[in-house]
Structure 1
Amino acid sequence: MSIIGFGGGQFMRLLSNLLLTRILSPDDFGLMTLVTGFLIGLTMFSDMGLGPSIQQSKRGDDPAFLDTAWTLKIIRGGILLGVSTLIAWPLALFYNAPQFAQVFPVAAISLLIAGFNPTRIDTAARHMFLGRLTAIELIAQAINIGIVVLAAYWLHSVWALVIGNIAGAAVMLLLTWLFLPGHINRFRLEPEARSELVHFGKWIFLSTICGFLLFQGDRLILGRVLSLEQLGIYNIGQFLGTVPMMLGGDRRAAVHPNVPPTSSLRRRQQYPHFGQGPRGCGLPVDLWRGDAGGPRARSGRRAVRCALHPCGRAAGDHRAAATAADPDQQL
């Protein structure tokens, strides 16, 4: 189910990006890249590990414990919205992007909305009831993409992406409250539960910092030295280059779950059939990545150039570089 959810979600993201590059400008993507990067940063740096705590705690099914975690999430969401409002103008000055001061606080409303997500999400993960949760996530993402595309046709500005960000959080909240079974949360702060949750969250902080710098640091650094147009093209190309590799990795992991991670040369020597899988099972991914019928970077660049609007075709060059930069993905 996790593979279906990840693969389906990334495919829809890919489709929406291809559509939106024909409607919005690279500047819009560049500005939203900065906004999203800082939203992710605020979320990760304030991560208390509430979900993992619910999943591993002996009290993970205790209503008082669940209500305390839910209440802390809401408080955290409100604090993040306030912090976003305070830092929006200084960041706009730092990146020389005046519109950032308007867009960032509005986009941060999604963090407050997400704080109201029920703990039934974490309970479903705790008990491995992933089928319905995966279906809800995919439906919410499909609705979100539809809203973003319609808003983009209507507004032709970065506000379409902001509206989509908020609408996606609201749709996810609505679907999980309506269709996930389990305890109905209410406001409560039990001292013992709060102490356990906060203590567990302290161990999450260090790994969170490393993860944020690894996956978002490049965008926030480049946002200072590149124009918004260049940053938008970089972000599109980075997404197009990395997601197909992740999809290929997940597909191979599903076909060969017992093969340990190692270098591509050793994989070929030890597992000569590794990565082949059922006949034709990975052809769409391989065609996009450029593994089928020729050099990967060149064929992948052609695929992107055919798919994207002329203003976004420069992303194809970056996509090719991103793919070629990871030789371990070439099996």
Structure 2
Amino acid sequence: MLSLRTLRGASWTITTRLAGRGVDFVTLLILARTLGPADFGLVALALSLIAIIDIVLEVPIAQALTRLPEVTRAHLDTAFTLGLLRGLFIGLLVALAAWPMTIFYHDPKLLAVTLVIALGPIFRSLYSPAMAKYYRGLNFQYYFFADFGGKLVATGLALAVLHAQGGYWAIVTNSIASSIVPTLVSYALAPYRPRISLAAISDFSGFIGWFSSSQILAAFNWQFDRVFLGYHLPKTELGQYTVASDFAVLPTQSVIGPAMQPVFAAFAQIHDDRPRLQAAFLKVSKLTMLIAAPAAVGIALTSDLIVSLALGPAWSDAGQYLALLSLAVLLIAYYQPTYSLCLALDRPRNLFVANLIDLAIRLAAVPAGYAVAGIDGVIYARILLSVVMFVLSTLFVRNLIALPVGVQLRNLWQVVASCVIMAVGVCALRQLHIEQGWAILAQLASVAAAGALLYVACLYALGVRVRSIV
């Protein structure tokens, strides 16, 4: 049985992410129908650079504090100082890279956009380290208040800029405000008087060293396709691709990602109990794929309807990209509980190895895919990489907790079978809708409802019960 506190924590983190994604989605719809793909492409270029720097310099403050048997004032001061140094380095690197990037992409507007967007990760680096007490106690409702409040304020400010004819600055405003406001709120929820000190750096250095090395590679992996395509494609096509990519990862980022925060904390508490950890991983990984697999398959089968209904005819190419990108995301979901397991067992070195392999394949596969089939070829390369990461995940789990690969795969057979049956049913229903000329909204609503019912019914018929997982 998964801990009730873990499930409660997961429900809060999922609620936080879903609520935030819901606000983001509404904001995206409004902005996408008012602005054009070129505006999103411009901001995407700036975000790609900042995302790389942000991820490279990521310092896992909350995770590092969670692993400690006791958190002292010295630990909080050290955590704040590391965050402050991180923010300063982000500002310095962005300032140094912004002008060369503007020249590289031949767009003078990029300079100001990049410098302003950098304020987001700089402020996020100053998040109150005292919030870690809620992380350690699995009390994630406090993160909801900070993050969701920030999303609402950011949306309001973005719409105000849009109303004032600010154009792409509305997207920029939404990006930075959603980081600045939660940081300010965090000090109200977890009061802490900042003090610069590195007295407890020895308790952070080993963990952060491997983690940071892994993040450097991950940063290039996660943004390489956008940077590569940004050089070869017009901003309109890049905007189509980036919006489709953002849509594709919504299920994993909105549900699976946030749920892993309390899972990591729970894994850390039972790290020395091998049988219990094996059982917990099987439950978590199965629950992860129970959610991610049907969502990815469903989006792939209805991508044209989703894009047409949500974004309008100007984004038609995004529907084609979304269908394939959703499949690329499907297997990546399995990496997330593996990621939490590696951190809980103090093995960030495994994450470094995984990202190094990913980078080596990506550097060859993405350009080759583009040379052969354009954007579709890049997406096929991402699908290949998702398969590689899935295989690596199963091997890491086998080595970390002696859980055979065969056991891990058998753990998912009901999910696979149910997804196949759901896909057949959805395809048949869509063909019927086309023949009868149903409206887009009616098609999407009926297909989503029928697919969900068919999937759940298949799981139940194959013996899956929620109580057996949680």
Do they superpose with TM above 0.5?
yes
Deviates more, 1:245-254 or 1:64-73: 245-254
- String of CA shifts for 1:224-265, please: whole Å, max 9, x gaps: 1111111111111112223146668689999x9955758xxx
Q: Aligned to 2:33, what secondary structure does the other structure show?
A: coil
Q: Aligned to 2:51, what secondary structure does the other structure show?
A: helix
Unaligned runs of 5+ in 1: 268-273, 276-281
The amino acid of 2:316's aligned partner reads R
The amino acid of 2:318's aligned partner reads A
1:155 aligns with 2:162: no
Residue 62 of structure 2 contacts residue 132 of structure 2 at CA under 8 Å; is this kept in 1?
A: yes
Residue 42 of structure 2 contacts residue 235 of structure 2 at CA under 8 Å; is this kept in 1?
A: yes
Residue of structure 2 equivalent to 1:238: 245
- String of CA shifts for 1:287-307, please: whole Å, max 9, x gaps: x8674xxxx645331232122
The amino acid of 1:302's aligned partner reads L
Residue 80 of structure 1 contacts residue 112 of structure 1 at CA under 8 Å; is this kept in 2?
A: yes
Out of 323, 326, 329, the position equivalent to 2:326 is 323
Displacement of 1:118:
0.8
Residue of structure 1 equivalent to 2:21: 10
Displacement of 1:164:
2.2
Query: Using a 3 Å threshold, how does the CA distance of structure 1 residues 119 and 251 change in structure 2: closer, same or farther?
Result: closer
Residue of structure 2 equivalent to 1:189: 197
Out of 165, 185, 189, the position equivalent to 1:175 is 185
Displacement of 1:314:
2.8
* CA distance in structure 2 between the partners assigned to 1:96 and 1:120 by the alignment: 44
1:312 aligns with 2:336: no
Residue 120 of structure 2 contacts residue 175 of structure 2 at CA under 8 Å; is this kept in 1?
A: yes
The amino acid of 1:309's aligned partner reads G
Residue 47 of structure 1 contacts residue 201 of structure 1 at CA under 8 Å; is this kept in 2?
A: no
* CA distance in structure 2 between the partners assigned to 1:79 and 1:249 by the alignment: 30
The amino acid of 2:151's aligned partner reads Q
* CA distance in structure 1 between the partners assigned to 2:68 and 2:235 by the alignment: 44
Residue of structure 1 equivalent to 2:303: 300
Residue 296 of structure 2 contacts residue 326 of structure 2 at CA under 8 Å; is this kept in 1?
A: yes
Q: TM-score, with normalisation over the residues of structure 2?
A: 0.58
Out of 53, 58, 63, the position equivalent to 2:69 is 58
* CA distance in structure 1 between the partners assigned to 2:259 and 2:92 by the alignment: 43
* CA distance in structure 1 between the partners assigned to 2:252 and 2:80 by the alignment: 35
Residue 49 of structure 1 contacts residue 197 of structure 1 at CA under 8 Å; is this kept in 2?
A: no
Q: Aligned to 1:110, what secondary structure does the other structure show?
A: helix
* CA distance in structure 1 between the partners assigned to 2:103 and 2:214 by the alignment: 30
The amino acid of 2:221's aligned partner reads L
1:46 aligns with 2:62: no
- String of CA shifts for 1:77-124, please: whole Å, max 9, x gaps: 122112211110111122223211221112112233223221122222
The amino acid of 1:53's aligned partner reads A
1:111 aligns with 2:121: yes
* CA distance in structure 2 between the partners assigned to 1:74 and 1:140 by the alignment: 21
* CA distance in structure 1 between the partners assigned to 2:119 and 2:85 by the alignment: 13
Out of 25, 37, 43, the position equivalent to 2:36 is 25
Q: Aligned to 1:202, what secondary structure does the other structure show?
A: helix
Residue 23 of structure 1 contacts residue 153 of structure 1 at CA under 8 Å; is this kept in 2?
A: no
Q: Which has the higher contact order (CA 8 A, sep 6+)?
A: 1
Higher helix share: 2
Residue of structure 1 equivalent to 2:222: 215
Query: Using a 3 Å threshold, how does the CA distance of structure 1 residues 246 and 224 change in structure 2: closer, same or farther?
Result: same
Residue of structure 2 equivalent to 1:201: 208
- String of CA shifts for 1:118-149, please: whole Å, max 9, x gaps: 11222221221111222321221122122222
* CA distance in structure 2 between the partners assigned to 1:184 and 1:121 by the alignment: 9
Q: TM-score, with normalisation over the residues of structure 1?
A: 0.79
In the TM superposition, 1:114-125 aligns within 5 A as 114-125=124-135
Residue of structure 2 equivalent to 1:68: 78
The amino acid of 2:240's aligned partner reads I
The amino acid of 1:58's aligned partner reads P
* CA distance in structure 2 between the partners assigned to 1:186 and 1:246 by the alignment: 31
Displacement of 1:190:
3.9
The amino acid of 1:188's aligned partner reads I
- String of CA shifts for 1:5-49, please: whole Å, max 9, x gaps: 222222322222111101112111112112112212112211233
Aligned length: 303
Q: Aligned to 2:66, what secondary structure does the other structure show?
A: helix
Residue identity over aligned pairs, in percent, reads 22
Structure showing greater radius of gyration is 2
* CA distance in structure 2 between the partners assigned to 1:250 and 1:116 by the alignment: 22
* CA distance in structure 1 between the partners assigned to 2:86 and 2:282 by the alignment: 40
The amino acid of 1:305's aligned partner reads S
Query: Using a 3 Å threshold, how does the CA distance of structure 1 residues 318 and 207 change in structure 2: closer, same or farther?
Result: same
* CA distance in structure 2 between the partners assigned to 1:87 and 1:111 by the alignment: 16
* CA distance in structure 2 between the partners assigned to 1:121 and 1:43 by the alignment: 20
Residue 289 of structure 1 contacts residue 300 of structure 1 at CA under 8 Å; is this kept in 2?
A: no
Query: Using a 3 Å threshold, how does the CA distance of structure 1 residues 145 and 198 change in structure 2: closer, same or farther?
Result: same
Residue of structure 2 equivalent to 1:128: 138
Q: Aligned to 2:59, what secondary structure does the other structure show?
A: coil
Displacement of 1:156:
4.0
Query: Using a 3 Å threshold, how does the CA distance of structure 1 residues 133 and 249 change in structure 2: closer, same or farther?
Result: closer
